[in-house]
Each structure stands twice: as C-alpha cells, then as structure tokens.
Amino acid sequence: MELPTTKHLKVMCLRRNIKTPQKARRAQSLSNLVLACAITILLPNALTAAPGITESLQEAQAMTVDGARSQTLIDQTRHETEQLLQEYRQLSANLQQLAINHRQLSEIHQQQQIELASLETQLAQVTATELDIVPMLFASIDWLETTIANDLPFYSAERQERILRLKKSLLAANISLAERYRRVMEAYQIESEFGYTLDTYRDEITFENQTRQVNMLRVGRLGLYFETLDGKAGGRWDSTSKQWQQVTGDDLKHVKQGILIALKQRPQSLLILPIARR
C-alpha cells in the first residue's frame, strides 16, 4: 500500500491560494498537523501490511510453481491420452478385421459342412454302386470268355491270358474298384477293335495232322486265313467244323494279297475271300 508523502499533503492542504503571511503560517501549521496525524494513522497499517505482502508474494510464487507442475501434468496426461486414443483406434481396426475374418471363416465352415454332407451322401452311393458293379464285372468277364471261346481262333493264348488276369484282379484286395473297372473296359475296347481291323501275324497251327508255322490273315471277325511260309498252300478257318480247310486258286491269291495289304506292302483293294457261315 502506498503512503501519502508530505508533498501530497501540502498539495491537499493548499488547494486554496493563501496570500497573507499569517494565513500562510496558519496553513503551514495545519498541514504539519495533518501530516503528523496521517503518519500516525497510516504507519502502523504499513508496518502491519508488510508481512502480508511477503506472504502474498510467496503464495504467488507457490501458485506459479503449482501452475507449472499442473501444466506439466496436463501435457503429460494429454500425451498419454493421445497414445491411448491411438491404441484404441488400432484395437478397433483390429477388432473390425477380426470380425470380418470370423464372418468369412464361418461362411467357409458352413460351405465345408455342406460339402461334407454331399461327400457322405456320395460315399453312401458309391458303396451301394460298388455292391452292384462287382457282380456286373464278373458277368462281363464271363461274357468275354464265352465270346473268345466261340470266336475265330486268333491270338488265342493272348486273349485267354487277358481273361485270367481280369479274374485275378477282381479278387485282388490291393486293386481299387475303379482300376478293376478300367481293366475290364480296356479288354472290351481291345476285343471291339478286332472287329474292324485287318491284321497279319505269324502263328503255329495244326493242319492236315501236321504242326506248321504259317502267316495268318485276320479280316475283322469275318474270316481267318493262313498261308504257309513257302507260299505253296493256304487255308481258312471253318467255324462250323472248328477246323482248318484248304484254299486254292484265286482264294489263295487273295489270301496272299490280303497279307501284303496288312503289311502295307500293297495298296488297299477289294478282297474276295470265302467266309464260313456260323
């Protein structure tokens, strides 16, 4: 608190212009008296107010320090809050991604359950089909064996050996049903091709009570013919008598021509050959 000075008191007291010496002395005395009274009144208050000012300054300094600490704490708290907010956003994004992944996995699981049910149904059908296919395969092999026995005697040993292998494969535990089926169908395909091909090969036959090496000519399943190695004799298979019958003249010439065509040594041409009725 600022105390009034003597000058201020004089100014306060001498507001009015005192012209006479007597009045001047009276005014001076009055000013001194007022000054003395003011000092008497204000001096104790000034002395009393000095410790309060010091305390106020100390409190202000303490408040400044507390304010700085509070600001530091606020800045630290704001930094931690921003970090937590960033972590929250990252966790939220991760949670959304996990939700998407979970939804996709759920859909995949549902699709797998549908496929599993379908596979189980197919497996049951395969089991039932297997029970039906195995007897059918045995019947097919029996039909092939009968057909070969009643057919022209070409590649007899090879064809009979194929039938034996098929029968063994149907009884083999280490061969799958699919492989058994494939082998039977392959045998049918081979037998089918014999019906529309021209072929020649060397074989051993019994003709006129003699075993001879001859050149065979197979014309599909229509006829089977032979020519001796020296080319002087030939014959054909008679399906009725199950024996070889001799051919001569033009028939023998056509047999020779057919063998050359099968060997691709002659161009294809019309063959006139005898065919035995079955």
Place of tokens 């000092």: 39
- Region 156-179 average pLDDT: 92
Confidence of residue 18 (pLDDT cuts 50, 70, 90): very low
Between 65 and 264, residue with greater pLDDT: 264
**Residue 226, pLDDT score:** 96
**Residue 184, pLDDT score:** 95
**Residue 147, pLDDT score:** 92
Confidence of residue 102 (pLDDT cuts 50, 70, 90): confident
Determine which helix (DSSP H) or strand (DSSP E) holds 142, and give its type and residue range.
Answer: helix 21-150
**Phi, psi (rounded to 5 degrees) for 235:** -165, 180
Are the beta carbons of 260 and 227 closer than 8 angstroms? no
Rounded distance between C-alpha atoms, residue 56 and residue 206, angstroms: 144
**Residue 100, pLDDT score:** 92
Name which of 9, 26, 278, 24 is nearest 152 in CA terms: 278
**Residue 25, pLDDT score:** 60
Between 116 and 202, residue with greater pLDDT: 202
Give the tens place of pLDDT for each residue, 240-273.
888 999 999 999 999 999 999 999 999 988 888 8
For the chain, which residues make up each domain, given as ranges? 197-278
> Which of 52-66, 74-88, 166-180, 262-276 bottoms out in mean pLDDT, i.e. has the lowest?
52-66
- The pTM of the full predicted model, rounded to 2 decimals, is 0.54
- Region 78-102 average pLDDT: 90
Confidence of residue 51 (pLDDT cuts 50, 70, 90): low
Taking the CB of residue 234, how many other CB atoms lie within 10 A of it?
A: 24
% the chain with pLDDT above 70: 80
**Residue 9, pLDDT score:** 43
**Residue 79, pLDDT score:** 87
- Region 137-141 average pLDDT: 94
Name which of 244, 268, 246, 248 is nearest 258 in CA terms: 268
Q: Is the pLDDT of residue 47 over 90?
A: no
- Mean pLDDT, the chain, integer: 82
